[in-house]
Amino acid sequence: MLVDIASIGRDPHTGGYRRYAWNDADMALREWFVSAAESRGLDVHEDGNGNQFAWRGSSTEGNALMIGSHLDSVPDGGAYDGPLGVVSSFAALDQLGDFASKRPIVIANFADEEGARFGIACAGSQLLTGVLSVDKALALKDRDGITMAEALTARGRDPRAVGADPGFLAKIGTFVELHIEQGKSLIHSGDAVGLASAIWPHGRFRFDFCGEANHAGTTAMGDRRDPMIAYAVTVLAAQHLATSAGARATFGKLVVEPGGTNAIASRVTAWLDARASSEPTLDRLVDELVAAAIAASDKTTVEMTTESFSPAVDFDAPLRDGLATLLNAPVLPTGAGHDAGVLSAHIPTAMLFVRNPTGISHSPEEFAEDADCRAGVDALVSVIKALAC
The amino acid at 83: P
User: Mean pLDDT throughout 69-87?
Assistant: 96
Mean pLDDT is lowest, of 8-12, 356-360, 385-389, for 356-360
Beta-carbon contacts of 8 under 8 Å, excluding residues fewer than 6 positions away, are 17, 19, 25, 28, 29, 32
Report the percent of the chain where pLDDT is more than 70: 100
User: Mean pLDDT throughout 161-181?
Assistant: 97
User: Mean pLDDT throughout 306-335?
Assistant: 90
Considering the four listed CATH numbers 3.40.630.10, 3.90.1150.10, 3.40.50.10260, 1.10.10.10, the one that applies to the domain covering 24-200+312-388 is 3.40.630.10
Kindly tell me if the per-residue pLDDT of 26 is higher than 80.
yes
CA angle 339/360/183 to nearest 5° reads 65
User: Mean pLDDT throughout 16-24?
Assistant: 97
Predicted pLDDT at 335: 66
User: Mean pLDDT throughout 318-325?
Assistant: 96
Report the percent of the chain where pLDDT is more than 90: 89
**C-alpha span between 216 and 256 (Å, rounded):** 15
Mean pLDDT is lowest, of 28-32, 64-68, 84-88, 359-363, for 359-363
Predicted pLDDT at 9: 97
Kindly tell me if the per-residue pLDDT of 87 is higher than 90.
yes
pLDDT digits (tens, 9 = 90+) for 190-215: 999 999 988 888 899 999 999 999 99
Kindly tell me if the per-residue pLDDT of 45 is higher than 70.
yes
193-199 and 331-334 beta bridge pairing:
parallel
The amino acid at 220: A
Instruction: Look over the chain and give the mean of its residue pLDDT values, rounded to a whole number.
Output: 95
Task: Please list the alpha-helical segments (H only) found in the chain.
Answer: 24-38, 83-96, 123-129, 134-139, 148-154, 166-171, 185-189, 227-245, 279-296, 317-327, 339-343, 370-388
Considering the four listed CATH numbers 3.20.20.140, 3.30.1280.10, 3.30.70.360, 3.40.50.720, the one that applies to the domain covering 203-310 is 3.30.70.360
Task: Compute the half-sphere exposure of residue 266: CA atoms within 13 Å on the CB side of its CA.
Answer: 7
Beta-carbon contacts of 207 under 8 Å, excluding residues fewer than 6 positions away, are 231, 234, 269, 270, 271, 272, 293, 302, 303, 304
User: Mean pLDDT throughout 152-164?
Assistant: 98
Question: 3-state SS string over 122-182?
Answer: CHHHHHHHCCCCHHHHHHCECCCCCEHHHHHHHCCCCHHHCCCCHHHHHHEEEEEEEEECC
Predicted pLDDT at 281: 96
Domain ranges in the chain?
A: 24-200+312-388, 203-310
CA dihedral 170, 109, 312, 276 (to 10 degrees): 180
The amino acid at 12: P
Beta-carbon contacts of 6 under 8 Å, excluding residues fewer than 6 positions away, are 79
**C-alpha span between 104 and 125 (Å, rounded):** 20
**C-alpha span between 230 and 210 (Å, rounded):** 9
Closest CA to 203 of 293, 335, 78: 335
